[in-house]
């Protein structure tokens, strides 16, 4: 479309917008508001810059990209060098045909106009506007060529695959190189007059390469996806791909229950990891991370996989429950250097309700500026990526993690979404990040979300949906997510089943009281929805060390078991309790007390006496310079069953709580790739922008003066009497000239005092006022 009428520029179009529309523009494109522009002219210049348009292109979906390609294709025929267009809706329909519904086309045009990427030129009519755009509009495209209008744009992926399979060796090697690296390539054979038998012209003729200029070609993205073995980008129809085929085998309640089970398992594994690190802290690499060797050691000690340990370490470290430092008390095997160990905040966290612990862990994972599933991969230099290392940091990780999970919000509840369908949806929503959306990227992110209870059976859980839709620092949304997880968690049980093989089977999560009692007398053998604990001499001795008596243990088993307690278990408890505590160790540094002189004599004649330097004071008392805990452990290694006691003779709990390091403040939230601007901030910027526009308007008042002096003072006095605003030109002490619209308040001591929209307490020296106009 061509026209001889003058076309309206973006500055004029922006000036005609309402304050609400301008604020919405700044919220959509926050880079335009920093620093606040002085007038719509400056705002338009920023909005037309290639850098700003490229940022705006990050939010465009595939349909919007197709509209932009069609717009650029139509606008290229107008012969203008300052603007692209004018282009009408009919022009775009002619280019896109039936690939995009008319309602979708109108919605994309309205959205592009709202973002200031295109605007009404004024050359059309009210019903059929003619749109124009800046010359840098192409910067919003995710690629250089117009691939959505090219020869393969309407071709089925199967036909493209057949075309690729029919290539000769040399052309196939060429496009394989472009698919694995940058899609742009340079070749002299890209010129239109090149030898048509060469590989590049043949690929251009087949539509697999697009000619950008005489020396540059670009691989068609649909072919690149197929060559990389990823779900192909379908462009024959520009509608969004189908996410799910319909409801799955599991209903919403079953999905929530499965997610809650995974959440409880994650918390249990976190407890196990913290316990291991408390006993044997992990060494810190010279680069500051946690090495693969230590991860394997922790995986062996906890019975978990290395990948699971990596995720636990990253999430716990983000909450400052794990940190590097000097452990206290010193572990038995410690080099003296800094090590990764639980922080003092762990003791509080372990006694927090499960739903709150889950919420803290899931929130930390969502905002984590790293991708734990990349632990163990190799970097560009061939080095293995360690946990908590700087090589794992990615400022965009939190943003892309939410982008991967966002399509699941649009799927119906309990409707499973396959990985390929998710990748297809991501490439349609964010075509600029086409290379990022791979099966592994999406699949590993879903796996981590599943392990944290956000996803189950291929769909979002109720708590996961509440957490993803919650605004930052929204207490009501946090309460809703906590309530959803509390509802999904199974009801805690207050009983267990004692079995003949001396195990306790717990049919569900235990109450806090029962969990403390069971973990004191038994060791976990297998976890899950129904956990199994085994009772042994060591576990019973541990319970007796904590101050429990044999009768108390027997009463616990009898009262809390829904099955009869086997006689063999009762005999075991009585036997261990009878032998336990016959030796009493106290503080001298340590003393050993025994009512049986023969037993103490056996201790003094054993190797243990020399190990801890025991010396007899009486037939029933011996002392040692070693700490109490060392004496107790040495006696146990020698085959004895001692118990600790305090100065009053009461039993004391000598169990170690593990090493701890000081707790530092939680890590700040990961910054998003793009800045954000709040609605209130946007309205403030718009108010200043309007004030600058009024100040820069051409003189139109009937009364105005130039320069300082009596005429300036007289006009200010007139403005004070009538209450009318004035527009003044001003030069500050640095020689910078500016214009302001001011409501006068006073004139005193050579100073003009007033109020402007950007400065509530404006002050101007009379001798620096260059012009004054009464409005």
Last residue of a domain, one of 488, 514, 531: 488
Specify if 468 maps to a domain: yes
Burial class (CB in 10 A: 0-12, 13-18, 19+), 193: exposed
Assess whether 45 and 173 both reside in one domain. no
Rounded Cα distance, 204 and 218, in Å: 9
Rounded Cα distance, 569 and 674, in Å: 64
Specify if 87 maps to a domain: yes
Assess whether 502 and 482 both reside in one domain. no
Instruction: Write the CB contacts of 515 (distance below 8 Å, at least 6 apart in sequence).
Output: none
Cβ(59)–Cβ(117) under 8 Å?
no
**Tens of pLDDT along 5-22?**
578 888 888 888 888 888
pLDDT at 107: 93
Assess whether 369 and 446 both reside in one domain. yes
Assess whether 136 and 42 both reside in one domain. yes
Q: What's phi and psi for 584, nearest 5 deg?
A: -120, 125
Specify if 308 maps to a domain: yes
Cβ(196)–Cβ(205) under 8 Å?
yes
Rounded Cα distance, 677 and 686, in Å: 12
Instruction: Write the CB contacts of 381 (distance below 8 Å, at least 6 apart in sequence).
Output: none
Does the pLDDT value for residue 402 go beyond 50?
yes
CB atoms closer than 10 angstroms to residue 294: 23
Cβ(116)–Cβ(29) under 8 Å?
yes
Rounded Cα distance, 13 and 19, in Å: 13
Assess whether 21 and 156 both reside in one domain. no
Confidence of residue 2 (pLDDT cuts 50, 70, 90): very low
Assess whether 167 and 74 both reside in one domain. no
pLDDT at 671: 47
Specify if 163 maps to a domain: yes
Does the pLDDT value for residue 612 go beyond 90?
no
Cβ(375)–Cβ(310) under 8 Å?
yes
Helix (H, G, I), strand (E, B) or coil at 276: helix
Does the pLDDT value for residue 1 go beyond 50?
no
Instruction: Select from 544, 555, 554, 552 the least CA-distant residue to 577.
Output: 544
Helix (H, G, I), strand (E, B) or coil at 298: helix
Does the pLDDT value for residue 452 go beyond 70?
yes
CA distances from 276 to 195, 272, 300, 322, 664 (A): 68, 6, 10, 12, 21
Assess whether 217 and 93 both reside in one domain. no
Rounded Cα distance, 500 and 567, in Å: 9
DSSP conformational letter for 77: T
**Tens of pLDDT along 547-574?**
788 888 888 888 888 888 888 888 888 8
Last residue of a domain, one of 142, 160, 181: 142
What is this structure's pTM? 0.78
Q: Which domain holds residue 373?
A: 252-488
CB atoms closer than 10 angstroms to residue 406: 14
Specify if 691 maps to a domain: no
Q: What is the DSSP string of 86-103?
A: EE-HHHHHHHHGGGS-HH
Cβ(565)–Cβ(498) under 8 Å?
yes
Instruction: Select from 245, 238, 175 the least CA-distant residue to 431.
Output: 238
- 3-state helix/strand/coil string of 413-451: CCCCCCHHHHHHHHHHHCHHHCCCCCHHHHHHHHHHHHH
Which CATH number covers residue 742?
2.30.30.100
Assess whether 390 and 307 both reside in one domain. yes
Does the pLDDT value for residue 754 go beyond 90?
no
**Tens of pLDDT along 470-504?**
887 778 888 898 898 888 888 888 888 888 888 88
12-15 CB contacts, 8 Å cutoff, 24+ apart: 13/119, 13/120, 14/40, 14/43, 14/44, 14/47, 14/116, 15/40, 15/693
Rounded Cα distance, 243 and 419, in Å: 10
Does the pLDDT value for residue 298 go beyond 80?
yes
Assigned token pair, 731 = 């030069």
Residue with the larger pLDDT of the pair 359 and 127? 359
Which CATH number covers residue 43?
1.10.10
Last residue of a domain, one of 123, 142, 161: 142
Burial class (CB in 10 A: 0-12, 13-18, 19+), 538: exposed
**Tens of pLDDT along 323-370?**
888 877 766 666 667 888 899 888 888 888 889 999 999 999 999 999
Domain count, the chain: 6
Confidence of residue 699 (pLDDT cuts 50, 70, 90): low
Rounded Cα distance, 9 and 81, in Å: 14
Specify if 246 maps to a domain: no
Specify if 282 maps to a domain: yes
Confidence of residue 586 (pLDDT cuts 50, 70, 90): low
Does the pLDDT value for residue 596 go beyond 60?
yes
The position carrying tokens 């990040």 is: 433
Assess whether 600 and 558 both reside in one domain. no
Which of 162-171, 612-621, 754-763 bottoms out in mean pLDDT, i.e. has the lowest? 754-763
Confidence of residue 314 (pLDDT cuts 50, 70, 90): very high
pLDDT at 368: 93
Assess whether 423 and 314 both reside in one domain. yes
Does the pLDDT value for residue 378 go beyond 50?
yes
How much is the average pLDDT of 376-403?
A: 88
Helix (H, G, I), strand (E, B) or coil at 328: strand
Cβ(132)–Cβ(87) under 8 Å?
yes
Rounded Cα distance, 92 and 105, in Å: 9
Specify if 459 maps to a domain: yes
Does the pLDDT value for residue 108 go beyond 90?
yes
Helices (H) and strands (E) in the chain, counts: 30, 26
Assess whether 542 and 602 both reside in one domain. no
Which pairing describes strands 83-87 and 118-120: parallel, antiparallel, or unpaired? unpaired
Does the pLDDT value for residue 519 go beyond 90?
no
Cα-based angle 167, 170, 173 (whole degrees, multiple of 5) = 85
Q: Round the average pLDDT of the chain to a whole number and report it.
A: 84
Rounded Cα distance, 657 and 659, in Å: 7
Assess whether 297 and 418 both reside in one domain. yes
**Tens of pLDDT along 49-103?**
999 999 999 999 999 999 999 999 888 766 667 788 788 998 899 999 888 999 9
Residue with the larger pLDDT of the pair 392 and 693? 392
């Amino acid at each position: 479309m061509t026209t001889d009428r003058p076309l309206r520029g973006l500055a004029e179009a922006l000036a005609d917008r309402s304050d609400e529309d301008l604020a919405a523009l700044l919220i959509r494109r926050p880079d335009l508001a920093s620093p606040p522009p002085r007038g719509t002219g400056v705002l338009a210049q920023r909005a037309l810059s290639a850098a700003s348009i490229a940022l705006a292109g990050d939010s465009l979906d595939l349909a919007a990209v197709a509209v932009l390609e069609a717009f650029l294709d139509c606008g290229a025929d107008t012969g203008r060098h300052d603007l692209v267009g004018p282009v009408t809706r009919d022009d775009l329909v002619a280019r896109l045909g039936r690939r995009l519904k008319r309602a979708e086309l109108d919605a994309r045009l309205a959205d592009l106009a709202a973002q200031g990427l295109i605007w009404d030129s004024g050359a059309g009519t009210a019903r059929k506007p003619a749109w124009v755009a800046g010359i840098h509009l192409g910067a919003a495209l995710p690629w250089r060529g117009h691939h959505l209008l090219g020869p393969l744009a309407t071709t089925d992926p199967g036909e493209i695959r057949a075309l690729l399979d029919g290539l000769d060796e040399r052309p196939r090697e060429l496009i394989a190189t472009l698919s694995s690296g940058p899609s742009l390539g340079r070749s002299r054979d890209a010129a239109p007059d090149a030898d048509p038998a060469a590989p590049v012209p043949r690929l251009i003729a087949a539509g697999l390469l697009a000619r950008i200029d005489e020396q540059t070609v670009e691989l068609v993205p649909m072919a690149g996806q197929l060559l990389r073995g990823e779900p192909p980008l379908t462009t024959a129809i520009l509608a969004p791909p189908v996410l799910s085929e319909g409801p799955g085998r599991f209903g919403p309640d079953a999905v929530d229950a499965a997610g809650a089970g995974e959440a409880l398992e994650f918390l249990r594994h976190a407890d196990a990891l913290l316990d291991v690190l408390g006993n044997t802290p992990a060494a810190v690499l010279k680069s500051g991370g946690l090495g693969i060797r230590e991860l394997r050691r922790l995986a062996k000690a906890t019975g978990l996989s290395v990948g699971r340990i990596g995720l636990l370490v990253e999430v716990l470290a983000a909450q400052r429950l794990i940190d590097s430092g000097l452990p206290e008390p010193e572990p038995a095997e410690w080099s003296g250097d800094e090590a990764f160990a639980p922080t003092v905040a762990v003791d509080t966290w372990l006694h927090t309700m499960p739903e709150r612990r889950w919420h803290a862990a899931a929130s930390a994972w969502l905002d984590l500026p790293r991708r734990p599933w990349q632990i163990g991969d190799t970097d560009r230099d061939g080095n293995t990526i360690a946990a908590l290392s700087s090589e794992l940091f990615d400022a965009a990780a939190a943003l892309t993690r939410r982008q991967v999970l966002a399509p699941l919000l649009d799927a119906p509840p309990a409707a499973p979404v396959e990985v390929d369908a998710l990748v297809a949806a991501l490439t349609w929503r964010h075509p600029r990040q086409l290379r990022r959306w791979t099966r592994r990227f999406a699949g590993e992110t879903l796996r981590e979300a599943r392990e944290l209870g956000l996803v189950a059976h291929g769909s979002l859980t109720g708590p996961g949906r509440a957490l993803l839709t919650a605004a930052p620092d929204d207490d009501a949304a946090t309460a809703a997510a906590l309530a959803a997880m509390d509802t999904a968690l199974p009801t805690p049980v207050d009983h267990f089943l004692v079995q003949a093989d001396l195990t306790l089977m717990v049919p569900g999560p235990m109450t806090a009281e029962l969990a403390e009692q069971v973990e004191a007398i038994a060791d976990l053998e297998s976890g899950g929805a129904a956990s199994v604990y085994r009772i042994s001499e060591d576990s019973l001795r541990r319970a007796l060390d904590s101050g429990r008596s044999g009768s108390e243990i027997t009463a616990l088993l009898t009262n809390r078991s829904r099955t009869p307690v086997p006689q063999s278990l009762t005999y075991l408890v009585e036997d261990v309790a009878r032998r336990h505590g016959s030796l009493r160790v106290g503080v001298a540094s340590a003393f050993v007390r025994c009512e049986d002189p023969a037993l103490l004599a056996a201790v003094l004649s054993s190797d243990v006496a020399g190990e801890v330097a025991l010396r007899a004071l009486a037939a029933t008392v011996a002392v040692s310079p070693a700490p109490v805990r060392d004496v107790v452990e040495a006696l146990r290694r020698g085959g004895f069953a001692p118990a600790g006691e305090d100065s009053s003779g009461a039993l004391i709990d000598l169990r170690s709580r593990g090493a701890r390091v000081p707790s530092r403040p939680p890590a700040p939230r990961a910054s998003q790739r793009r800045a954000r601007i709040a609605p209130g901030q946007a309205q403030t910027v718009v108010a200043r922008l309007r004030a600058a526009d009024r100040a820069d308007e051409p003189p139109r008042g009937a009364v105005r003066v130039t320069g300082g002096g009596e005429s300036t003072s007289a006009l200010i006095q007139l403005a004070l009497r009538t209450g009318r605003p004035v527009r003044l030109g001003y030069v500050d002490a640095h020689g910078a000239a500016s214009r302001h619209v001011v409501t006068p308040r006073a004139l005193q001591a050579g100073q003009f005092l007033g109020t402007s929209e950007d400065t509530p307490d404006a002050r101007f020296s009379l001798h620096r006022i260059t012009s004054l106009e009464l409005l």
